[in-house]
Amino acid sequence: MPIEGAEIVKAASLLGAGLAMGLGAIGPGIGEGLVGAKACEAIGRNPGEAGLLTRTMLVGQAVSESTGIYSLVVALLLLFVV
Amino acid sequence: MEDLGVIHQLIVPLFGYEMTFNLEVIAWTWIVIIGLLIFGYLAKRNRSIVPGNLQNLGELFINQFYELTEDALDRRLARKYAPLICALFMFLLFCNFLGVFPHLGEPTSDLNTTLSMGIMGFVIAHYVGIREKGIKAYIKGYFEPIFFMMPLNVIGELSKVISISFRLFGNIMGGDIIVLVVSYLTFSLILPPFLIGFFFIFIGAIQAFVFTMLTLVYIAVQVK
């Protein structure tokens, strides 16, 4: 069974989607873990400010998550558009 | 699985160009707007010292976001821009919760909605900056550390719009697709309601809050 060019392109785009998602998830994972750990330390030291700290933590995590979201968008483009 | 990534579009030719309307997204956005109007009317109808259920909910939204705005900006600006921030949050929250209902989806899973919200926040932030600091101080802000940092500052401002809108869009659309794929794999048994609870309710609320907070922070950065 001969392999045509379009199939190679499809296989490459699927492989690229998997690589983009897998590698792109490393950074946000580490970053969100660090933010959560520091927020836990801060809440342990100063429990009265827990509300403010949780709010700031969520915003910081969502910002550090954005690179992971970009890789998700790239992976979806590779899956459905290419 | 066949309806994954399918968008119903109305394409209208106009003077040689093609205008594209995403009909479903427009309908969902109008549902959200009408729902918000009804909520506002019902919450305002029987006002009393001891608030009823809906009035309590409305007061909760307004108090929380007024305090947040007052923390980020000062008191005078907070009176002016707290309604905007509160309305933005309520709109995005209702948008993200709309996907829970059958046959409906989130307007925010279309890039057009989130990008227009992001551009709106960008324009408002710069308008407030020019108005509060004056045009001279505003332009001087771009040449801040050294004068040849100007292109980097401009690119930084523009990339804020891209990052804020793609973050909301990617989260909501990614949640949609994960729920659809897992429902297909498990024949819609057991797992999908929990996934819907996580992705639509929890992530939707967090992302609406984050979008609102970031818009507020962008305004605050321009004012300072």
Looking at the 3D structure of chain A, how many domains does it have? 1
Residue B5 confidence (pLDDT) above 70? no
- Give pLDDT, residue A61: 85
Is B2 contained in some domain? no
- Give pLDDT, residue A5: 83
C-alpha span between B23 and B28 (Å, rounded): 9
Is B26 contained in some domain? yes
Interface ipTM? 0.73
Residue B21 confidence (pLDDT) above 80? yes
Question: For the segment B32-86, what is each residue's pLDDT rounded down to a tens digit?
Answer: 999 999 998 888 887 788 887 888 888 888 888 888 888 888 888 888 888 999 9
User: Residues of A at the B interface (Cβ-Cβ below 8 Å)?
Assistant: 55, 58-59, 62-63, 65-66, 69-70, 72-73, 76, 80
C-alpha span between B43 and B62 (Å, rounded): 12
Residues of A in contact with B207 (CB under 8 A): 62
Q: What domain range is B40 assigned to? A: 9-223
Residue B222 confidence (pLDDT) above 70? yes
CATH number, residue A18: 1.20.20.10
pTM of full prediction above 0.80 = yes
Residues of B in contact with A51 (CB under 8 A): none
Residue ranges in chain A modelled with pLDDT below 50: none
Looking at the 3D structure of chain B, how many domains does it have? 1
- Give pLDDT, residue B2: 60
Residues of B in contact with A70 (CB under 8 A): 166, 170
Contact B170/A58, CB-based, under 8 Å?
no
Q: Closest partner residue to A69 among B4, B170, B206, by Cβ?
A: B170
The answer to whether the CB of B164 falls within 8 A of the CB of B215 is: yes
Say whether residue B195 is in contact with chain A using an 8 A CB cutoff.
no
Is B204 contained in some domain? yes
Is B196 contained in some domain? yes
User: What percent of chain B is modeled with pLDDT above 90?
Assistant: 15
Distance from CA of A14 to the nearest CA of B (A): 16
Average pLDDT score over chain B: 85
Say whether residue B171 is in contact with chain A using an 8 A CB cutoff.
yes
Q: Closest partner residue to A73 among B166, B210, B214, by Cβ?
A: B166
Q: How confident is the model at residue B116 (pLDDT cuts 50, 70, 90)?
A: very high
Integer Rg of chain A from CA: 19
Contact B214/A69, CB-based, under 8 Å?
no
Distance from CA of A62 to the nearest CA of B (A): 7
Say whether residue B111 is in contact with chain A using an 8 A CB cutoff.
no
Q: Which of B97, B81, B123, B82 is nearest to B39 (CA)?
A: B97
CA–CA distances in Å: residue B166 to residues A7, A67, B5, B195: 30, 10, 17, 22
Say whether residue B124 is in contact with chain A using an 8 A CB cutoff.
no
- Give pLDDT, residue B91: 92
Residue B106 confidence (pLDDT) above 90? no
Which of the pair, B207 or A81, is modelled with greater confidence? B207
C-alpha span between B138 and B133 (Å, rounded): 6
Q: What domain range is A72 assigned to? A: 5-80
Q: How confident is the model at residue B146 (pLDDT cuts 50, 70, 90)?
A: confident
Segment B188-201 shows an average pLDDT of 87
Residues of A in contact with B3 (CB under 8 A): none
Structure tokens at B63: 């108090």
Is B123 contained in some domain? yes
Q: How many residues does chain A have?
A: 82
Is B4 contained in some domain? no
Structure tokens at B197: 């609870």
